[in-house]
C-alpha cells in the first residue's frame, strides 16, 4: 500500500472519528456525564494522532489557516497558562481538557474534512441525528414521558420534551443549529428529489422538536436567526417564493401549537411571576453576581470553571439553589477567563463572522435581485452561518456551550464554515514545512498520551462513583469511593462524600462513634485542602468537630463558611446550630432568625431550632 492510499485511509479515519463524536455526544445525554465524555475525549485524541500521521504521509500537505485560527490558538495557550495558575487543580484540569478537546476538533474539521464528500457525510449525519432526537422528543411530549432514555427527568422539566438531553433548553440549542442547515439545503442545494424529501422531513421534525422543548430562549433564537435566513433569501428573485412559503408554514404551525398546547402558555403566563420555576428573572439574579465576580477579577477571571466555586460569595438572598453556570455564556466566560480570555474569544467570533461574509460573497454566484442558481456551497455557508448565529443568540440566556455535545457541534460548524473560506481566497493555505510537521506531531503525541491517560482515569473514577451511588450499603459505598480516591486523589468532592458517610455513621451513636467521627474529620480536612472554596466539607467538618467537642476549631470553620457564602440560609442555619452546641443561645437566635429572613418558607428546621432556643432563653 503506497503513501497516498495510507493518507486517504487516515483522512477517512478522521472523518469516522468526527462522525462518532457527533453521534455519541447528543445521544448520550449531551456528553455531560464523565464516562461518556471520556469516550469523546479519547476519540479526539485518536483523531489528533491520525492527523499527525497524515501530515507525514503527504509531502505536499498544506494547512488551512484563516484568521480565526490565530485567536483559537492564542486562547488554547492562554487556557494552559491559566490552568497552572488555578487554585483548584482538579476542576481546572477538567475544564482544560474540555477546551483542548474542542480546539483539536476545530482544527481536525478545518484541515482534514474539506472535501465535498466529507462535508456531505457530516451534514447528513447531523440531519439524521437531529431527526431521530426530534422524533423522540415528540414521543415524550405526546405521551408525557417522565424519563430520558430510562432515567427519571427532573420534576422541574415535566411537561416539556428534552429528547436525549436532560434539560429541554439544551435540546432546543442543539436543534436550532441544525435546522438552518436543513432549510438551506432544501432550498439552495442541487440535491436529488429523494435528498430534498429527506431534508424537508428533517427540517420539519427539528422545527417540531424545538417547539415541544418549550424553551423560550430557543424560540427567540430560532425566530431571530430564521428571520435573517429568510431576509437573505428574499434578496434573490428565484428563492423568494420558497422563502415566503416556508415562512408562512412555520408561522402558522407555531401559532397553532402555541394556541393549542398548555405548557407553552403556562411558561409564558408565569414568565414574570414570583416564586415560580418558570420565572425568567431568575437569570437576572445570576447575571448581576456574575458581573461583580468578573469586575473583581477583571483581567484574568477567577479561573477555569471556577465560577461555580466562587459564586457563593456573590450569591443574592433571592437565589438559594446552586446555579453551576450563570445562564449567560458570555458573562460566564468573562468570570472564568477575564477580559483577556473574553477578548480572545470575541476575536475568534468576529474573525469567524468576517470569514463567513467573505465566503458568502463568493459562493452566492450572482448579484442581488437576479435569479439565483442552486449551489451546495451557498447552502452550506448560509446554513452554517445561521446555525452559529442561533446558538450565539441563545447563549445570552442559557449555558448551551457548557454542554459538550452542543459545544462540539458549534465547533464543528465553525470549522466547516472556516474551511469554506478557501473558495474565496487561496492566501490562507500554509506549508507547514519540517518545523511545522515536527511541532504538530509533538503536540499530537502529547495530546494522545495525556488525553488518553486522563480519559482512562476519568472513566474508572466515574465507574467507582456510580457503584457507590448504586448501593445503599454504607460499607460498600466506602469501598467504592476509596477506590475512586485512589484513581483520582485530587477530587475533593469524593473525599467530602466519604467524610459525610463516616459523619452519619458516627451520629448514630454506636460504641465506635468517636473513631468514625475522627475518620470523618480527616476526610473533610483533606477535601478542604484540595478545594478551599467548597462550603460542604467546611460546614459538615465543623459539625463533626462540634460532635467531638472541639468547638473552638469548629468556630474557625464556620467563620470561614460565612465569609464564603454570606447569603445562604443553610449556612446561617448550621451556624446557629453550632452556637447551640457551644451554649451561645443569643448568637444562635440571631443566626437562626437570619436563616429565616433569607428563606422564610419551607425552612422548617430553622423554625424548630429557633423554638428550642427561645425555650432555653425563657427558662435559663
pLDDT tens-digit readout, 107-142: 999 999 988 889 899 999 999 999 999 999 999 999
Q: Minimum mean pLDDT among 71-75, 160-164, 420-424, 610-614: which range?
A: 420-424
Across the range 583-600, mean pLDDT stands at: 93
Model pLDDT, residue 353: 94
CB burial string 318-351: b at 16+ within 10 A, e below: ebeeebebbbbbbbbbbbbbbebbbebbebbeeb
Neighbours of 216 (CB within 10 A): 18
Q: Do 454 and 83 touch, CB atoms closer than 8 A?
A: no
| Average pLDDT of every residue of the chain | 91
In the predicted model, what is the mean pLDDT of residues 604-617?
92
pLDDT in tens, 308-346: 999 999 999 888 888 899 999 999 999 999 999 999 999
Helices marked H in 155-215: 168-188, 193-213
Give the pLDDT score at 497.
96
Has residue 489 got a pLDDT over 50? yes
pLDDT tens per residue across span 91-102: 999 999 999 999
Q: Give residue 81's Cα distance to chain centre.
A: 22
- Whether residue 365 has pLDDT greater than 70: no
Highest mean pLDDT pick, 136-145, 273-282, 316-325, 419-428: 136-145
Q: How far apart are CA 552 and CA 97, in angstroms?
A: 41
pLDDT at site 262: 78
State the pTM of this model.
Answer: 0.93
Q: pLDDT at position 154, please?
A: 87
DSSP 429-480: EE--HHHHHHHHHHHHHHHHHHHHHHHHHHHHHHHHHHHHHT---HHHHHHH
Task: Report the distance separating Cα 94 and Cα 527, nearest Å.
Answer: 17
Comparing 18-27, 31-40, 421-430, 577-586, the range with the smallest average pLDDT is 421-430
Instruction: Tell me the C-alpha distance between 161 and 368, whole Å.
Output: 40
For cell 449556612, the residue is 571
- Residue 277 confidence (pLDDT): 55
Contacts of 57 (CB under 8 A, 6+ apart): 3, 4, 6, 7, 10
How far, in Å, CA of 344 to CA of 359, rounded?
22
Q: What is the pLDDT of residue 492?
A: 96
| Alpha carbons 305 and 319: distance in angstroms, whole number | 20
Written as nine digits, the cell of 431 is 506549508
Residues 385-397 have a mean pLDDT of 96
Q: Give residue-wise pLDDT tens across range 202-251.
A: 999 999 999 999 999 999 999 999 999 998 888 887 788 888 888 888 88
Residue 369 or 477, more confident: 477
DSSP 8-class letter at 274: T
Q: Which of 334-338, 430-434, 443-447, 450-454 has the lowest mean pLDDT?
A: 430-434
- Cβ atoms < 10 Å from Cβ of 527: 26
Segment 493-508 shows an average pLDDT of 95
pLDDT at 15 over 90: yes
Cα 478 vs. chain centroid, distance in angstroms? Answer: 30
Rg of the chain over CA atoms, in angstroms? 27
Q: What is the pLDDT of residue 333?
A: 96
Q: What is the mean predicted confidence (pLDDT) over 471-491?
A: 95
Q: Is the pLDDT of residue 477 over 50?
A: yes
| pLDDT at 620 (0 to 100) | 66
Confidence band of 372 (pLDDT split at 50, 70, 90): low
pLDDT of residue 547: 94
Q: Pinpoint the alpha helices (H) of 470-510.
A: 474-487, 492-507
151 sits in which H/E element: strand 151-152
User: Is pLDDT of 370 > 70?
Assistant: no
Average pLDDT over residues 376-404: 94
Residue 369: pLDDT over 50? no
**Half-sphere exposure (Cβ direction) of 329: Cα atoms closer than 13 Å:** 18
pLDDT of residue 619: 82
- CB 72: neighbour CB atoms within 10 A? 25
The partner residues of 64 in beta bridges, in order of sequence, read: 429
545-551: average pLDDT: 93
Query: pLDDT-based confidence at 481, cuts 50/70/90?
Result: very high
Amino acid at each position: 500500500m503506497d503513501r497516498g492510499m495510507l493518507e486517504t485511509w487516515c483522512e477517512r479515519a478522521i472523518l469516522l472519528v468526527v462522525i462518532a463524536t457527533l453521534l455519541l455526544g447528543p445521544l448520550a445525554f449531551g456528553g455531560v456525564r464523565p464516562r461518556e465524555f471520556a469516550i469523546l475525549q479519547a476519540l479526539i485524541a485518536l483523531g489528533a494522532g491520525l492527523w499527525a500521521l497524515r501530515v507525514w504521509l503527504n509531502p505536499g500537505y498544506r494547512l488551512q489557516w484563516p484568521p480565526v485560527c490565530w485567536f483559537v490558538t492564542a486562547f488554547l495557550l492562554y487556557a494552559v497558562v491559566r490552568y497552572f495558575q488555578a487554585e483548584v487543580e482538579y476542576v481546572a484540569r477538567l475544564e482544560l481538557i474540555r477546551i483542548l478537546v474542542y480546539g483539536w476538533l476545530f482544527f481536525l474539521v478545518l484541515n482534514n474534512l474539506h472535501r465535498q464528500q466529507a462535508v456531505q457525510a457530516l451534514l447528513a449525519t447531523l440531519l439524521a441525528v437531529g431527526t431521530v432526537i426530534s422524533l423522540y422528543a415528540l414521543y415524550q411530549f405526546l405521551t408525557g414521558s417522565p424519563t430520558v432514555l430510562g432515567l427519571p427527568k427532573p420534576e422541574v422539566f415535566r411537561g416539556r420534551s428534552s429528547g436525549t438531553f436532560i434539560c429541554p433548553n439544551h435540546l432546543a440549542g442543539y436543534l436550532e443549529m441544525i435546522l438552518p442547515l436543513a432549510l438551506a439545503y432544501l432550498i439552495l442545494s442541487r440535491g436529488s428529489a429523494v435528498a430534498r424529501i429527506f431534508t424537508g422531513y428533517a427540517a420539519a421534525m427539528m422545527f417540531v422538536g424545538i417547539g415541544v422543548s418549550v424553551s423560550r430562549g430557543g424560540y427567540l433564537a430560532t425566530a431571530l436567526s430564521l428571520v435573517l435566513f429568510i431576509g437573505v433569501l428574499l434578496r434573490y428573485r428565484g428563492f423568494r417564493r420558497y422563502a415566503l412559503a416556508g415562512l408562512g408554514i412555520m408561522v402558522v404551525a407555531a401559532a397553532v401549537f402555541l394556541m393549542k398546547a398548555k405548557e407553552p402558555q403556562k411558561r409564558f403566563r408565569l414568565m414574570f411571576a414570583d416564586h415560580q420555576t418558570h420565572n425568567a428573572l431568575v437569570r437576572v439574579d445570576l447575571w448581576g453576581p456574575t458581573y461583580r465576580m468578573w469586575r473583581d477579577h477583571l483581567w484574568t477571571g477567577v479561573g477555569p470553571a471556577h465560577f461555580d466555586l466562587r459564586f457563593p460569595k456573590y450569591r443574592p438572598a433571592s437565589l438559594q439553589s446552586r446555579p453551576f453556570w450563570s445562564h449567560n455564556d458570555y458573562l460566564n466566560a468573562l468570570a472564568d477567563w477575564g477580559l483577556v480570555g473574553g477578548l480572545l474569544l470575541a476575536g475568534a467570533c468576529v474573525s469567524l463572522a468576517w470569514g463567513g461574509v467573505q465566503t458568502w460573497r463568493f459562493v452566492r454566484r450572482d448579484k442581488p435581485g437576479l435569479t439565483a442558481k442552486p449551489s451546495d456551497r451557498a447552502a452550506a455557508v448560509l446554513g452554517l452561518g445561521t446555525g452559529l448565529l442561533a446558538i450565539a443568540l441563545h447563549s445570552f440566556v442559557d449555558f448551551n456551550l457548557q454542554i459538550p455535545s452542543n459545544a462540539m457541534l458549534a465547533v464543528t460548524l465553525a470549522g466547516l464554515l472556516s474551511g469554506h473560506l478557501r473558495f474565496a481566497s487561496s492566501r490562507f493555505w500554509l506549508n507547514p514545512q519540517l518545523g511545522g510537521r515536527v511541532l504538530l506531531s509533538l503536540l499530537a503525541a502529547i495530546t494522545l498520551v495525556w488525553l488518553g491517560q486522563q480519559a482512562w482515569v476519568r472513566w474508572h473514577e466515574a465507574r467507582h462513583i456510580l457503584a457507590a451511588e448504586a448501593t445503599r450499603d454504607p460499607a460498600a459505598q466506602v469501598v467504592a469511593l476509596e477506590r475512586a480516591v485512589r484513581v483520582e486523589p485530587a477530587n475533593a468532592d469524593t473525599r467530602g462524600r466519604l467524610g459525610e458517610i463516616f459523619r452519619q455513621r458516627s451520629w448514630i451513636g454506636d460504641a465506635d462513634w468517636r473513631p468514625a467521627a475522627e475518620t470523618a474529620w480527616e476526610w473533610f480536612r483533606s477535601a478542604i485542602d484540595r478545594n478551599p472554596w467548597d462550603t460542604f466539607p467546611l460546614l459538615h467538618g465543623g459539625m463533626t468537630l462540634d460532635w467531638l467537642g472541639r468547638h473552638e476549631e469548629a468556630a474557625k470553620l464556620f467563620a470561614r463558611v460565612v465569609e464564603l457564602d454570606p447569603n445562604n440560609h443553610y449556612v446561617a442555619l448550621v451556624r446557629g446550630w453550632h452556637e447551640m452546641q457551644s451554649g451561645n443561645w443569643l448568637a444562635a437566635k440571631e443566626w437562626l432568625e437570619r436563616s429565616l429572613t433569607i428563606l422564610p418558607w419551607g425552612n422548617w428546621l430553622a423554625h424548630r431550632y429557633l423554638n428550642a432556643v427561645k425555650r432555653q432563653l425563657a427558662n435559663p
